[in-house]
Chains A and B, each alone.
Chain A
Amino acid sequence: MLKARNIAQIFKKEFSVYFISPIAYIVISIFLIVTGWFFFSTFFLYSQAELRSFFSLLPITFSFIIPAITMHLFSEELNSGSYETLLTLPVSIKDIITGKFLAALAFVAIMLLPTLSYPISVSFLGDLDWGPVLGGYLGAILLGGMFISIGLFTSGLTKNQIIALLTAIGICFALTLIENLLFFLPESMLGFFQQIGAGYHFRNISRGIIDSRDIIYFLSFIFIALYSADLVMQGKK
């Protein structure tokens, strides 16, 4: 059973650890530079008051950035041996995974916070439709959660943070780009592969159409990946 007190403690510690090391500041800076550049470099060409180009690039940026946020979560502890200390505290592995997941999710939310300046500045330039913007941010959190759960899973597989990082990038990238490779596939399989890709569901939400199918896609993906991480960690005992 999950225990809220333990999850809160793990969350607090993991979240503060992000800001002790310089990694957090580096990751946030890179994220803002990349998204800011790609967004504003084309924004004035179209002269439309919308954030579509920002959100359409988000799955690809997240594929690189989020594994960098999650790679240390288990690998570092397995490598230094502090995982042993952690497991001898009165917590279950499920508490640990949930706490670490929520800490990374909160970090992603903090990382997205400065980008709110884009829609705010755009709304001064023209008539901005806030529906897709809110949808986009909801989608970003869900997509972030999904990639975090993948990163958490790969981090549990190895002591080596670089391997955890590259494996997670590979999986996230594949899930993002799978729909661009659909023309290779026979027509009968198109529907399935389109549904499995993260890009398709994210695009739906970021258009401002909140469909329960897309939400269920993300939530079930998160659940499956976290559950797999739990199985991996249990297997180490």
Chain B
Amino acid sequence: MIEFRQLTKYYGELCALDHVDLTIETGQILGLLGPNGAGKTTAMRILTGYLDPTSGTINAGGLSIEKDILKIKEMIGYLPESAPLYENMIVYDYLEYIAGMRGLKEAQSRKRLSELADACGLRENMHRPIHELSKGYKQRVGLAHAIMANPEILMLDEPTTGLDPNQIVEIRNIIKEIGKEKTVILSTHILSEVEATCDRIVIINHGKIVADGSTEELKQSSKSEYSVNISLKNAEFNDVNTELGKIEEIKEIESIGKNNEALSIRLSCHTDKDIRDLIYKRIKEQTWILVEMTRDIKSLEKIFGELTKEN
């Protein structure tokens, strides 16, 4: 279990994290979302011991970062954004060095390197210098580095940027596999990635947590507000406005355009129920022809946009 308590970090005047409280259970795959500069990376860097907090603390597995940072580091595997590595080292030497730093004995290290070469698809590139590798392969070396010692906590900062679609799927599978037993913290801007891999989503904006829950919960929370888009032929906006305005649950009716003689209208609804049948009944009473009707529940993108909008 990892607990962030009143975690605050200032870079000079700039506040990167503002009294953040967060508890992460073991075995969770947590997606950390937020716009650029929201404080995601800062939060991760504090947990890895790269930065010290201005105030507040983090406890991980009963240890606090002030006293036992070295022990916490032993529990953590971290892949920083864009995987900065020692460019002039050979992949094998680099991973061997990391194994040594992680306290693996020589025989263990050789065995582990061989496992990782297969798990991360590095077999053919083990004896090339890192600077010759493509971005995707560097990312794989970074991942091998992060999971070297089977860490209890795996932290990945934008792990799939620069990868091709196949590699993204592979990396997601690796993450899911690890996430079965271990805690995984994943920072990203790619929302579909979070939906595909994470149990829980935390959205950070301006150093504060603005949303916390599973993908379903986040979508649910905004379910009472949705819109229904309809297209009608043979109708005038004013008539539609008076007729459909009689339905209580509809808060607002607006015309969003007209083409091919069909009038497009958005109805903003404020209710827990699905009122499409009510709308349909009203339309049936008229001479209008209904050509389209869709219900638009907010996507994660919309929720994200609303929560992190300026002001």
Looking at the complex, which of B46-54, B158-166, B218-226, B249-257 is the stretch in contact with chain A? Answer: B46-54
The tally of residues in B whose CB lies under 8 Å from a CB in A reads 29
Q: Is the CB of A87 within 8 A of B97?
A: no
State whether the Cβ of B98 lies closer than 8 Å to any Cβ in chain A. yes
A90 to B102, CA, bound (A): 7
Q: Is the CB of B52 within 8 A of A237?
A: yes
Q: Is the CB of B48 within 8 A of A9?
A: no
A12 to B106, CA, bound (A): 14
Q: Is the CB of B84 within 8 A of A21?
A: no
A6 to B102, CA, bound (A): 9
Q: Is the CB of B52 within 8 A of A88?
A: no
State whether the Cβ of A16 lies closer than 8 Å to any Cβ in chain B. yes
Given contacts A9-B100, A17-B88, contact A85 B80 (CB under 8 A): yes
Looking at the complex, which of A76-84, A121-129, A141-149 is the stretch in contact with chain B? Answer: A76-84
CB contacts (< 8 Å) of A158 on chain B: these are none
| Residue of B with least CB distance to A82 | B84
The tally of residues in A whose CB lies under 8 Å from a CB in B reads 21
Q: What is the CB-to-nearest-CB distance from A72 to chain B, in angstroms, rounded to a whole number?
A: 10
CB contacts (< 8 Å) of A82 on chain B: these are 84-86
A88 to B76, CA, bound (A): 8
State whether the Cβ of A113 lies closer than 8 Å to any Cβ in chain B. no
CB contacts (< 8 Å) of A16 on chain B: these are 93
CB contacts (< 8 Å) of B51 on chain A: these are 237
Q: What is the CB-to-nearest-CB distance from B32 to chain A, in angstroms, rounded to a whole number?
A: 16
State whether the Cβ of B101 lies closer than 8 Å to any Cβ in chain A. yes
Q: Is the CB of B73 within 8 A of A88?
A: yes
Q: Is the CB of A90 within 8 A of B93?
A: no
Of residues 1 through 54 on chain A, the ones whose CB sits less than 8 Å from some CB of chain B are 5-6, 9, 12-13, 16-17, 20-21
CB contacts (< 8 Å) of B268 on chain A: these are none
CB contacts (< 8 Å) of A17 on chain B: these are 86, 88-89
Q: Is the CB of B88 within 8 A of A20?
A: yes
A20 to B86, CA, bound (A): 12
Which of A5, A84, A92 has the largest count of B CB atoms less than 10 A from its CB?
A84
Of residues 47 through 79 on chain B, the ones whose CB sits less than 8 Å from some CB of chain A are 48-52, 70-71, 73-74, 76, 78
CB contacts (< 8 Å) of B145 on chain A: these are 85
State whether the Cβ of A196 lies closer than 8 Å to any Cβ in chain B. no
Q: Is the CB of B45 within 8 A of A84?
A: yes
A214 to B142, CA, bound (A): 47
State whether the Cβ of A162 lies closer than 8 Å to any Cβ in chain B. no
Chain A 104-119 per-residue mask, 1 if CB under 8 angstroms from chain B, else 0: 0000000000000000
State whether the Cβ of B103 lies closer than 8 Å to any Cβ in chain A. yes
State whether the Cβ of A91 lies closer than 8 Å to any Cβ in chain B. yes
Among candidates A20, A21, A81, A91, residue contacting B80 with C-beta atoms closer than 8 Å: A81
State whether the Cβ of B87 lies closer than 8 Å to any Cβ in chain A. yes
Interface of B is mostly: loop
Q: Is the CB of B85 within 8 A of A89?
A: no
Among candidates B71, B97, B102, residue contacting A13 with C-beta atoms closer than 8 Å: B97
Q: Is the CB of B101 within 8 A of A89?
A: yes
A85 to B71, CA, bound (A): 16
CB contacts (< 8 Å) of A90 on chain B: these are 70-71, 73-74, 101-103
CB contacts (< 8 Å) of B48 on chain A: these are 87-88
CB contacts (< 8 Å) of B6 on chain A: these are none
Chain B 15-52 per-residue mask, 1 if CB under 8 angstroms from chain A, else 0: 00000000000000000000000000000010011111
Q: What is the CB-to-nearest-CB distance from B102 to chain A, in angstroms, rounded to a whole number?
A: 7
| Residue of A with least CB distance to B148 | A89
State whether the Cβ of B125 lies closer than 8 Å to any Cβ in chain A. no
Q: What is the CB-to-nearest-CB distance from A218 to chain B, in angstroms, rounded to a whole number?
A: 30
CB contacts (< 8 Å) of A91 on chain B: these are 70, 73, 101
Among candidates A9, A85, A88, residue contacting B85 with C-beta atoms closer than 8 Å: A85
CB contacts (< 8 Å) of B103 on chain A: these are 5, 90
Q: Is the CB of B84 within 8 A of A85?
A: yes
CB contacts (< 8 Å) of A92 on chain B: these are 70
Chain A 215-237 per-residue mask, 1 if CB under 8 angstroms from chain B, else 0: 00000000000000000000001
CB contacts (< 8 Å) of B83 on chain A: these are 85
State whether the Cβ of B82 lies closer than 8 Å to any Cβ in chain A. yes
CB contacts (< 8 Å) of A6 on chain B: these are 101
CB contacts (< 8 Å) of A85 on chain B: these are 78, 80, 83-85, 145
CB contacts (< 8 Å) of B70 on chain A: these are 90-92
A91 to B100, CA, bound (A): 11
Sample 12 A-B pairs with CB under 8 A, ordered by A number.
Answer: A13-B86, A13-B89, A20-B88, A80-B87, A81-B80, A85-B78, A87-B48, A87-B49, A88-B50, A88-B76, A89-B98, A90-B71
A residues apposed to B, CB below 8 Å: 5-6, 9, 12-13, 16-17, 20-21, 80-82, 84-85, 87-92, 237
Nearest 7 pairs of A and B residues by beta carbon: A81-B84, A88-B48, A90-B73, A237-B52, A88-B78, A9-B100, A90-B74
Apart from A5-B103, A81-B84, A89-B102, 7 more pairs, CB < 8 Å: A9-B97, A13-B89, A20-B89, A81-B80, A84-B45, A88-B80, A89-B73
